[in-house]
Copies of this chain bind each other. A is one copy, B any other.
Amino acid sequence: MFKDSDKYLSLVDSTLLELLSKGRDAYKVLTDSMIYSVSAGGKRVRPMLSMAFASLCGKSPEVALYPACGVELIHTYSLIHDDLPCMDNDDMRRGKPSNHIVFGEDTALLAGDALQSLAFEAILCPESISLMGNENAAKCGYYLAKLCGARGMVGGQVIDLALEKSNGDVDTVSLMHSLKTAALIKAACVMGCISANADNAQIAAAEEYAECIGLQFQIVDDILDVTSTTDVLGKPVNSDIENNKSNMVSLLGIEKCRTLAKELTDKAINALKAFEGDTKSLEDFALDLLNRNK
């Protein structure tokens, strides 16, 4: 996503493990449980977006290292809690047993809680402050807290729960995607900008890019759910369809959704014009999300 991405991907992985490895033997099961999910094969899309935007704003990607780790820790905690029996009750995640299947529900719940704390600890730790200063670190923490809480990711999850029980309209489903998915992508992109001293116009552009690719991602998801192969019994392999749960395709139809996804991609790419640096890789990222097959 930017020059030497692979090097920075390794740096994110090693920093995450360093942040996670400071515990005591008395609660080793907790750190084991946290490390299990953080190391479960996530693609680190959000950390890479943070570092790409820092780079685009003319700084070393490394300046956003701790916000990059923070947003990944939040993402990981949300997956653990999402999989719990009282939520989606998923036994598997990324082809491996879910956290609560391996460690028990109580430890999984607490691992999620501790991962959230660790996200803010990472962003505000002395190493992070020395990279971007107190003001930027405080701004990043504030921005992430807002976008992962009730008015962000968690708010979106609650709307999603409500949609399991009753039909929603396009506005409600869009708001759900905007909060549940786009909010954390926005936090990733904007924290990258903040850590690199971006101006308000650049921050607004990063917000626009993130909001557009977040919504586009979910619409393409809904399209792929309809167009993807059915299972051996001929049933569509999509729980939303089985549930008759409202989604963008059921509400707007597939053609309208394809047009909308394309428009959002164009809008995301257009937003990148606010930056002087090389935006090719972030443009390609938006196009890859649009043109994916799974």
Residues of A within 8 A of B (CB): 22-24, 26-27, 29-31, 34, 77-78, 81, 84-87, 105-107, 109-110, 112-114, 116-118, 120-121, 124-126, 129, 134-135, 137-139, 141-142, 144-146, 148-152, 154-159, 161-162, 172, 175-176, 179
Residues on B with beta carbons closer than 8 Å to the beta carbon of A138: 124, 129, 134, 137-138, 141
Given A116-B117, A117-B146, A121-B145, 7 other A-B residues pairs in contact with their CB atoms under 8 A: A23-B151, A27-B159, A30-B155, A81-B109, A106-B161, A112-B113, A117-B150
Give Cα A196–Cα B125 distance, bound, in whole angstroms: 20
Residues on B with beta carbons closer than 8 Å to the beta carbon of A81: 109-110, 113
Residues on B with beta carbons closer than 8 Å to the beta carbon of A148: 117
Of all chain B residues, which has the CB nearest A149? Answer: B117
Q: A215 CB to closest chain B CB, in angstroms?
A: 16
Give Cα A51–Cα B152 distance, bound, in whole angstroms: 30
Cross-chain contact B158 with A27 (CB below 8 angstroms) = yes
Give Cα A144–Cα B135 distance, bound, in whole angstroms: 18
Of all chain B residues, which has the CB nearest A122? Answer: B145
Residues on B with beta carbons closer than 8 Å to the beta carbon of A156: 27
Cross-chain contact B161 with A22 (CB below 8 angstroms) = no
Cross-chain contact B118 with A120 (CB below 8 angstroms) = no
Q: Given the known inter-chain contacts A109-B84, A138-B137, please indicate yes or no for A149 contacting B121, CB distance below 8 A.
A: yes
Between-chain CB contacts (< 8 Å), 14 pairs: A26-B155, A26-B159, A27-B179, A81-B109, A86-B106, A87-B106, A113-B149, A117-B148, A117-B150, A117-B154, A124-B139, A124-B141, A125-B142, A138-B138
